Structure 1
Amino acid sequence: MYRKELFVFDRDRDHPMPAVIRNYKEEDFASLIGVQQECFPPPFPSELWWTREQLHNHVTLFPEGALCVEINGEVVGSMTGLLVDFDPDHPEHTWEEITDRGYIRNHNPNGNTLYVVDISIRPSFRKLGLGKWVMLSMYEVVVHKNLHRLLGGGRMPGYHKKAEEMTAEQYLQAVVKGELKDPVITFLLRCGRTPVKVVANYLEDEESCNYGTLMEWKNPFYG
C-alpha cells in the first residue's frame, strides 16, 4: 500500500506544513464525499459526487488507485484511478463508459493504462500544491506497476466563455500556447500531462460545453 509523508508550502507564506498522501479507506468515505461537494458545487451535477457504493468499489477493486491527502489528520483531497487497456488508435470514449460511471466494475488488472477517474482538492487548501503532489504520487503507481501511461479526461471549465469564438480544439491550443488559462487544463499541463485529443460529449458539464481533453503522462521507464 502507498504512504508518503512530506512538507507542503502555502504559496503566500514560506511556512512548511506536514502532509500525508496515502490510500483511502472506508472510514474516510464521509470526508471524501464532503470534499466532492466542496469541489464541484452547482451547476456541476450533484449525482456525479461520489456515493459510498462507488467508494467501496474503489478500495475493493483497485485500492492502489485510491489516494487521499491529509493535512493535520484531515482529508482535504483525493485522486482515484482504475486500470484499462487503452488503444491510442481508438481514443474516443466518454467518462461514463471508461470509468463505469465511477463504479470501476470494469477495472482490468491486466490493463496497460492507469485511468484517472477523479481528482479533487478542497478549495481552501489549493494554495498548497496538493493537486500536483497527489498527481505525482499516481505517476509513482504507474511506474511501480510498469504501466504504459497515466491517462484521463480533463474538464475545460473556461471553454464556455469562448465557445462562440472558437472550437474546443482551438481553445485547447490557445491554452497550450499560453494565450489563455484554463483552471483544469493549465493545471494538468503544469503537472506534466500532455494533450492527446479533445473529445465531444465526454462528460455532462455545462462549463466545458460537455467537452473533455484526454491528457496523458507516459511512463519514462516503460519498455
Structure 2
Amino acid sequence: MKDSKPIPAVIRNYTEADFENLIAIQAKCFPPPFPPDLWWNEAQLKNHVAIFPEGALCIEVDGILAGSLTGVRVNFNSDYPAHTWEEMTDNGYIGTHNSTGNTLYIVDIAVRPDYRKLGIGKILMQAMYHVVVELGIDRLLGGGRMPGYHKVSHEKTPEQYVDSVVKGELKDPVLTFLLSCGRKPLAIAANYLDDAESNNFGVLMEWRNPFKMK
C-alpha cells in the first residue's frame, strides 16, 4: 500500500520479455562500487527461465516491473557450509541446478529503490517460501551481503557485526531486511562475493521449511 491506498501488484514468473527491465533494475539496485559485471546479462536470464522457471519470480506494481527474486535448487550440507556465490550459482548461470536438491538457494533479489517502502522485497521472499513448500524442499538459503560492515570493520569481526545486527544494536540494509523476513544466520562465508562494502564477506541466511523440520 502507498499513502494507505491499495496498489495493484502481481507476482509471476519472469520471461524473456522482461529481460531488458530486469537488467535496468539491477543497475539501479547495485550502483558502484558494486561491480557492474555482476549485474544480470541476457545469457544468465535465459538460463533462469529455461532451467528453473519456478525460481524466476518478479513483481509488477500497477503495471510496472518493480523487482525480482531468483533461486536455484541445489544440494547443501550444513556441516560444510563454506562456499562462494559463484560456486553455488555457477556465476549466476545456475548450471548447478539439481531437480532433487534439498535447498532452494537465493541467487539474487533486486527491488527498484523508489518502490522499496512498499515492502515488495518481503512479498517476493514470502512467495519464494511458497515455492519451497510446494516443491517439498528442506530450506531456503542465501548469502546476504553486509554492506554496512565496512564502516565498523576496524572494530568488529564479521561475527561480531552480525551479532550486533541480530540484537538490534546495529542496522544493516540487507541483513536487517532478511531478518525481518524470518531468515536466520547460519554461517559467515569469507570471499563470498567481490563486494568492497561487505569486505567480501557474506552471511548465509536460512529459512527452514516448517513442514519438513525434524
TM-score, normalised relative to structure 1:
0.95
Partner of 1:21: 11
Partner of 1:124: 114
Alignment of 1:53-64 (within 5 A): 53-64=43-54
Deviation at 1:96, TM superposition (A): 0.3
Deviation at 1:222, TM superposition (A): 1.3
Partner of 1:111: 101
**What is the rounded CA distance, in whole Å, between the counterparts of 1:147 and 1:110 in structure 2?**
8
Q: Secondary structure at the match of 1:88?
A: coil
Q: Secondary structure at the match of 2:207?
A: strand
Deviation at 1:74, TM superposition (A): 1.4
**What is the rounded CA distance, in whole Å, between the counterparts of 2:116 and 2:197 in structure 1?**
20
Letter in 2 for 1:14: S
**Residue number among 186, 198, 204 corresponding to 1:208 in the alignment:** 198
Superposition RMSD on alpha carbons, in Å?
0.6
Count of residues paired in the alignment: 213
**What is the rounded CA distance, in whole Å, between the counterparts of 2:41 and 2:57 in structure 1?**
16
Alignment of 1:1-223 (within 5 A): 9-10=1-2, 13-222=3-212
Partner of 1:4: none
Q: Which portions of structure 1, spanning 4 or more consecutive aligned residues, are displaced by more than 4 angstroms?
A: none
TM-score, normalised relative to structure 2:
0.98
Alignment deviations for residues 71-128 of structure 1 (CA, whole Å, 9 cap, x no partner): 1221110000000001010000000000000000111111010000000100000010
**What is the rounded CA distance, in whole Å, between the counterparts of 2:157 and 2:10 in structure 1?**
40
**5+ long unaligned stretches in structure 1:** 1-8
Deviation at 1:199, TM superposition (A): 0.9
Deviation at 1:15, TM superposition (A): 1.4
Deviation at 1:20, TM superposition (A): 0.4
Letter in 1 for 2:98: N
Partner of 1:3: none
Identity of aligned residues (%): 62
**What is the rounded CA distance, in whole Å, between the counterparts of 1:72 and 1:163 in structure 2?**
41
Deviation at 1:221, TM superposition (A): 0.6
